[in-house]
Amino acid sequence: MRKIAVNILVIAPHPDDETIGCGGTLCMHADRGDSVSVVFLTSGELGLKELPSKEAWAIRESEASKAAGILKVKDISFLRCSDGRLGNEIPETARLLRPVLKTKQPRIIYLPHPEDGHPDHQASLPILRAALKGLPRLKPALRLYEVWTPLSEFDVVQDISSHMARKIRALRVHKSQLHDFDYVRAVTGLNQFRGALAAKSKFAEVFFRMSLSQT
């Protein structure tokens, strides 16, 4: 029997969050025929603060597009909300996110967990909650991922050993962000740690499941 494809949506506050937090799992979804989309709430202009916003957008959006190709993400979109200020722009960002949710009709949404150590990551769940209030028939499952701060609790463990090389290739495409911090080393270490202790494998990603009633 042929498997029914599932619509997957990733909410990424900035370009590269999707790769760091769930890049291996996205490869798994894409390889088994699921339809994977990513919506970037900002285009990460503060990651290139020495440049005008439009130039920073162009660089980071181009990197995100190349990474999406490696991960086999079907579609990406950029809301271009203010980097570093999402917590102050929840209604506006939710208004922009709502049409994406309506069009994609995701069954599973991946997004940063609310204790992650960046204010934009922490704002992602309140933004999604506000956006879903206008879409009462949409009831996706939520999977919270880790970027800057490891999850203290998780209940989904995904072995990504066979996809780790692709994840790292996608991460290396975000060249503008690799000068000041070795994300490749950090992500490899975190996924190796999760693999050894949570999955009994070489590499893994972990997530916390959240139902809409908990939001």
CA–CA dist 166, 203 (Å, integer): 12
Sheet holding 204-210, edge to edge: 75-81, 35-42, 7-12, 108-112, 141-145, 204-210, 156-159
Q: Which two tokens stand for residue 43?
A: 């285009």
SS (H, E, C) the chain: CCCCCCEEEEEECCCCHHHHHHHHHHHHHHHCCCEEEEEEEECCHHHHCCCCHHHHHHHHHHHHHHHHHHHCCCEEEEEEECCCCHHHCHHHHHHHHHHHHHHHCCCEEEEECCCCCCHHHHHHHHHHHHHHCCCCCCCCEEEEECCCCCCCCCCEEEECHHHHHHHHHHHHHCHHHCCCCCHHHHHHHHHHHHHHHHHCCCCEEEEEEECHHHC
pTM beyond 0.75: the answer is: yes
On average, the pLDDT of the chain sits at: 96
Residue 1 has pLDDT above 90, yes or no: no
Q: Which two tokens stand for residue 187?
A: 């992500």
Q: What's the pLDDT at 134?
A: 84
Q: What's the pLDDT at 90?
A: 98
pLDDT digits (tens, 9 = 90+) for 61-115: 999 999 999 999 999 999 999 999 999 999 999 999 999 999 999 999 999 999 9
Spatial neighbors of 169 by CB under 8 A, at least 6 apart, are: 70
CA–CA dist 29, 181 (Å, integer): 29
Residue 121 has pLDDT above 80, yes or no: yes
Residue type, 93: T
The CA-based angle 196-150-32, given to 5 degrees, is: 65
Handedness of CA 171, 174, 175, 179 (dihedral sign): negative
CA–CA dist 24, 48 (Å, integer): 26
Q: What's the pLDDT at 4?
A: 86
**Is residue 142 very low, low, confident or very high in pLDDT (cuts 50, 70, 90)?**
very high
- Give the pairing of strands 35-42 and 7-12: parallel
Q: What's the pLDDT at 3?
A: 73
**Is residue 214 very low, low, confident or very high in pLDDT (cuts 50, 70, 90)?**
low
Residue 194 has pLDDT above 80, yes or no: yes
pLDDT digits (tens, 9 = 90+) for 13-59: 999 999 999 999 999 999 999 999 999 999 999 999 999 999 999 99
Spatial neighbors of 129 by CB under 8 A, at least 6 apart, are: 215
**Is residue 155 very low, low, confident or very high in pLDDT (cuts 50, 70, 90)?**
very high
Q: What's the pLDDT at 212?
A: 75
Residue 215 has pLDDT above 90, yes or no: no
pLDDT higher at 1 or 202:
202
Average pLDDT over residues 122-151: 96
Indicate the length of the chain as a whole number. Answer: 215
